[in-house]
Amino acid sequence: MVDSPQTALGLINRLIPQLDGYHLFHPVRAELLRRIGASQEAAQSYALALMLVTNYSERRFLERRLRSVQQRS
């Protein structure tokens, strides 16, 4: 992480065109969004990650995170 979640999110967002199809990109972005209180956007990033993930353990983790941010919205 850089100075703050907002700063890191700014850097991460620049990588969307290159990493949009990479399943690990979206949970990182979602976590930063969650930390700044953007629960709806975090849920969208977790949902994108779930569409791309193939590992069962990672899927379960992402599903728990998605439920967590959905409860906050």
Query: Each residue's pLDDT tens digit in the chain (73 positions)?
Result: 678 999 999 999 999 999 999 989 999 999 999 999 999 999 999 999 999 999 999 999 999 999 999 998 7
CB atoms inside a 10 Å sphere around CB 22: 12
Q: Which helix (H) or strand (E) holds 25?
A: helix 25-35
Domains and CATH numbers, the chain: 5-72 (1.25.40)
Looking at residue 2, its pLDDT comes to: 74
Q: Is the entire prediction scored with pTM above 0.85?
A: yes
Residues 28/52, Cβ–Cβ less than 8 Å: no
Cα–Cα dist 66/40, whole Å: 10
- Tokens found for residue 52: 């791309």
